[in-house]
Amino acid sequence: MAKDYPRFIGRLCGCKNVLITTHVRPDGDAIGTVAALSLALRGKGIPSAIVLLSSLPSKYRFILADAGLSHHEGNDGLPAGFNVDEFDGLLVADTGTWSQLPGMQPVFENWKRPKLVLDHHITQEEWADFKLVNTRAAAAAEVAAELFEIWGVEITRDIATALYVALVSDTGWFQFSNTRPYTLRLAAKLMEAGVDTDRLNILLNQSERKQRVYLQTRAMHSLELLDNDTVAVMKVRRDDFLETGAGVPATENLVNVPLQIATVEASLLFVESPEAGPVRVSLRSKGGVDCARFAQTLGGGGHARAAGVKVAMPLDRAVTTVVEAFRAFKIA
């Protein structure tokens, strides 16, 4: 692994214009890591462009704005008319699977230029030319930080802020079991580089629109506890989006709420698409069930305690189907 970093750096240094992207519906780790990578490349004199495959959540807008980074944005795919021929390298952060990169496979599968992946997920596919994957890393940002250290990237306040947002996003502000000593040492280094943690807390935890809390309230009303209160199921219906005016990003972290209950071992959140589209299922466990392995049986992926899958069926049938499959998986 250690010797992979110089090789990865070598590939990046061979590029003159890098297209940086991440998974659809980007979270804080995705946005923070992409921003930090783009700034690091800029520091090394390598131009890059950030391309998002769905809209940038408003709460993360400040990361790019503070750093003076622009981005291109698609709607469940590459931006319309986007010319990938301007680039001689593809850098994908925080995912290693085409299913998380809608619209990318047809364009890049046979692309004759380096395709690089920097990730921390267990679920991987073998299409990249070079991958930097550390599944012990709490966030893709940790892999990026290790890369920067070996590359001698100067950790500016903007890079530190982007990496810090990524860390707190994927560790639940250092609460989740993926938090490791390295995570906290890195966080300390980032604070020393000038991260304003109080400002980040206000921007990320105390700056929501009221519509988000209205949507979450509805979702919590839908809570059902199954199997002797060990499995929690919550649903967000299309009407919940329409009637509250909230969007899909408002469902972020909702799946963790039922884990507050002592008896609950696993939480399943079903989110109906506000438009047409599959039901998104988020899975969380306290460690007794491997969410990633279960998600993989249905074509999804993720981590042992946090995973997701998309199911192309009506909401209520999706709930019945996934819950039944989950029970069978637990017994097996």
| Identified binder of Mn ion from the candidate list 94, 158, 240, 265, rule CB under 5 A | 94
Q: CB of 151: closest distance to Mn ion in angstroms? A: 20
Q: Which is nearer to Mn ion, 140 or 266 (CB)?
A: 140
174-197 burial string, b = 16+ CB within 10 Å, else e? eebebbeeebeebbebbeebebee
Q: Is 142 in the site for Mn ion (CB under 5 A)?
A: no
Q: Which is nearer to Mn ion, 119 or 272 (CB)?
A: 119
Q: CB of 120: closest distance to Mn ion in angstroms? A: 6
What residues from 10 to 39 belong to the interface with Mn ion (CB under 5 A)?
29
Encoded tokens for 223: 């809570």
Q: CB of 140: closest distance to Mn ion in angstroms? A: 5
CA dihedral 99, 105, 109, 114 (to 10 degrees): -80
Q: CB of 279: closest distance to Mn ion in angstroms? A: 22
Q: Which is nearer to Mn ion, 301 or 326 (CB)?
A: 301
Q: Which is nearer to Mn ion, 26 or 258 (CB)?
A: 26
- What pairs with residue 118 in β-bridges? 93, 132
Using DSSP, state whether 309 is helix, strand or coil: strand
Q: Is 170 in the site for Mn ion (CB under 5 A)?
A: yes
| Identified binder of Mn ion from the candidate list 140, 144, 163, 219, rule CB under 5 A | 140
Strands 266-271 and 279-285: antiparallel
Q: Is 119 in the site for Mn ion (CB under 5 A)?
A: no
d(CA 199, CA 233): 34
Q: Binding residues for Mn ion, how many (CB under 5 A)? A: 5
Q: Which residues contact 215 (CB under 8 A, 6 or more apart)?
A: 236, 240, 241, 244, 246, 250, 251
Piece of the chain touching Mn ion by CB under 5 A; list 10-18, 99-107, 166-174, 304-312: 166-174
Amino acid occupying residue 69: L
d(CA 277, CA 322): 17
Q: Which is nearer to Mn ion, 120 or 218 (CB)?
A: 120
Q: Which is nearer to Mn ion, 15 or 301 (CB)?
A: 301
Which residues here bind Mn ion, judged by CB under 5 A? 29, 94, 139-140, 170
